[in-house]
């Protein structure tokens, strides 16, 4: 009898961050920490560090299609997520493939702008994300500026976050997290969750006073994706995601000279005290 182990498999569809803190690298580190096997469809490459994005190259549609095809032919992916999708052509390529293959519940992190201000999605692609990608999503995880662009609302307090959640469900997303990381005046960093069954709740945590927040959104959505691949229900997956990212921000590490990356070991380390 074989004693080989089998791990659930999850997929990140995203851009590469050469600095290792956000994008596909943050996704893979997070998925690995959750004891899930991570696969990738690379959509764009960025030359990036903690200071900013120096260059970006969207990949040809043919290689995006080929990556999806390769995975569908061989792996047994149980949940997937999207991150940086660059432009209209890449968003449409991803939508086309997600309609073709079943990779389980889809989490859409509608990444638009990097922490340092560099655009990661072209302006004209926002409507394509809203109209073509969001209706495929089991979960969407916009931050406040992204939720504003997708809904047309101004979101500057917790009441407006609730309104945005309802508006996003109106666009066809089943479950929504409106991330509060950008409500900068607040002492807390609270996220509003609205589920398909109408249930809603807040994810609460103290705001950590740090500039080392590169890849927070990627880390949250990747952790949720990993938990969904294990078969967790959506509310439990979301709560685990918040615990994971809270620890990863609070127990910081020193890398680079700007918006440093998170500590993806933190939650596990708290349990085992390495
Ligand atoms: N300073 C902070 N202290 C504690 N939690 C934070 C802080 N900043 C963000 N968070 C949490 O991190 C998660 C991601 O939120 P955020 O609004 O930063 O997403 P984001 O802007 O999409 O991230 P990114 O673009 O860096 O990937 C949320 O759960 C949010 O509450
Ligand atoms: C390739 C890639 N994907 C996503 C982000 C968002 O992360 P952040 O907002 O923390 O810069 C990024 N900077 N780069």
- Is pLDDT at 212 greater than 60 in this prediction? yes
Q: In Å, what is the CA distance from 120 to each residue of 22, 44, 107?
A: 12, 9, 18
Tokens, residue 205: 């945590």
Q: Which residue puts its alpha carbon closest to atom 12 of ligand 1?
A: 216
- The structure tokens listed for 223 are 């952790």
pLDDT of residue 186 exceeding 70, the answer is no
Please check whether residue 136 is in contact with residue 106, taking contact to mean a CB–CB distance below 8 angstroms: yes
Tell me: pLDDT of 12 over 70: yes
Q: How far is Cα of residue 72 from the mean position of the Cα atoms in its chain? A: 21
Asked if the model's pLDDT at residue 79 lies above 60, the reply is yes
Q: Does the beta carbon of 15 sit less than 6 angstroms from any atom of ligand 2?
A: yes
18 assigned to some structural domain: yes
Q: Quick check: 89 and 64 in contact, CB under 8 A?
A: no
Question: How far apart are the CA of 260 and the centre of ligand 1, in A?
Answer: 13
Asked whether 110 lines ligand 1 (CB < 6 A), one says no
- Supply 78's token pair: 């149980």
Is 19 within the bounds of a domain? yes
Q: Could you tell me which residues come within 8 angstroms of residue 263 by beta carbon, excluding any fewer than 6 positions away?
A: 247, 248, 249, 251, 252, 253, 269
Is 248:263 a contact under the CB 8 Å cutoff?
yes
| Cα(106)–Cα(133) distance, integer angstroms | 10
Asked whether residue 93 is domain-assigned, the answer is yes
- Give yes or no for residue 151 CB within 6 A of ligand 1: no
Domain-embedded: residue 4? no
Does 202 reside within a domain?
yes
Ligand 1 centroid to Cα of residue 213, in Å, is 7
The residue written with tokens 């999503």 in the block is 137
Residue of 82, 111, 213 with the most ligand 1 atoms within 8 Å of its CB, for mutation: 213
pLDDT of 115 reads 83
From first CA to last CA, the distance across the chain in angstroms is 34
Residue 58 CA neighbour count, 13 Å, CB half: 18
Atom 16 of ligand 1, residue of closest alpha carbon: 181
Burial class (CB in 10 A: 0-12, 13-18, 19+), 253: middle
From the CA of 113, how far away is ligand 2's center (Å)? 7
| Average pLDDT value for residue range 207-225 | 96
| CA 182 to ligand 1: nearest atom | 17
Question: Which residue owns the Cα nearest ligand 1 atom 23?
Answer: 217
Q: pLDDT for 232-259, tens place per residue? A: 999 999 999 999 999 999 999 999 999 9
Q: With a 6 A CB cut-off, is 132 part of the ligand 1 pocket?
A: no
Distance between CA 29 and CA 60 in Å, rounded? 26
CATH number of the domain that 124 lies in?
3.40.1190.20
Tens digits of per-residue pLDDT, 100-119? Answer: 999 999 999 999 999 888 99
Its ipTM equals 0.96
In sequence order, what are the beta bridge partners of 81?
12, 107
Q: Are 25 and 17 in contact (CB under 8 A)?
A: yes
**Atom number of ligand 1 nearest to Cα 259:** 26
Q: Which atom of ligand 1 is nearest to the CA of 242?
A: 29
- pLDDT of residue 274 exceeding 70: no
The C-alpha atoms of residue 143 and residue 121 are separated, in whole angstroms, by 14
| Count of domains forming the chain | 1
Give yes or no for residue 137 having a pLDDT over 80: yes
Q: Is residue 139 part of a domain?
A: yes
Tell me, yes or no, whether 272 lies in a domain.
Answer: no
Containing structural domain, residue 18: 9-267
Instruction: Round to whole Å and give the CA distance between 190 and 242.
Output: 10
Task: Specify the pLDDT at position 273.
Answer: 63
Q: Does 1 fall in a domain? A: no
Distance CA 86, CA 75 (A): 26
Instruction: Tell me the CA–centroid distance for residue 63 and ligand 1, in Å.
Output: 31
d(CA 30, CA 185) in angstroms, rounded, equals 28
What was the pLDDT predicted at 83?
Answer: 98
Contact predicate 79/225, CB 8 Å: yes
Ligand of minimum distance to the alpha carbon of 117: 2
The average confidence (pLDDT) of the chain is 96
Q: Give the H or E element holding residue 144.
A: helix 144-151
| Calpha distance 183→144 (Å, rounded) | 8
Which ligand has the minimum distance to the alpha carbon of residue 251? 1
Mean pLDDT value across residues 219-238: 98
Q: Is the pLDDT of residue 185 over 70?
A: no
């Amino acid at each position: 009898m074989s004693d080989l182990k089998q791990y659930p498999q999850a997929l990140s569809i995203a851009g590469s961050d050469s600095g290792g803190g956000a994008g596909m690298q943050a996704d893979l580190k997070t998925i690995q920490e959750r004891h899930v096997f991570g696969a990738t469809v690379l959509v764009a490459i960025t030359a990036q560090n903690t200071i900013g994005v120096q260059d970006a190259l969207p990949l040809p549609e043919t290689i995006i299609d080929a990556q999806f095809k390769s995975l569908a032919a061989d792996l047994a992916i149980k949940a997937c997520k999207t991150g940086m999708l660059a432009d209209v052509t890449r968003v449409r390529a991803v939508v086309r493939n997600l309609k073709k293959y079943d990779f389980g519940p889809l989490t859409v992190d509608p990444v638009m702008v990097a922490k340092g201000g560099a655009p990661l999605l072209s302006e004209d692609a926002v409507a394509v994300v809203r109209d073509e990608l969001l209706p495929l999503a089991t979960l969407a995880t916009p931050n406040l500026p992204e939720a504003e662009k997708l809904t047309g609302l101004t979101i500057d307090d917790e009441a407006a976050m609730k309104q945005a959640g309802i508006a996003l469900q109106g666009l066809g997303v089943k479950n929504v997290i409106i991330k509060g990381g950008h409500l900068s005046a607040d002492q807390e960093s609270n996220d509003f969750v609205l589920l398909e069954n109408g249930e809603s709740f807040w994810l609460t945590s103290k705001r950590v006073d740090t500039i080392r927040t590169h890849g927070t959104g990627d880390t949250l959505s990747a952790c949720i994706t990993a938990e969904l691949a294990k078969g967790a229900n959506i509310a439990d997956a979301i709560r685990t995601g918040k615990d994971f990212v809270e620890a990863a921000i609070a127990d910081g590490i020193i890398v680079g000279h700007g918006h440093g990356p998170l500590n993806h070991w933190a939650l596990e380390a708290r349990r085992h005290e390495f």
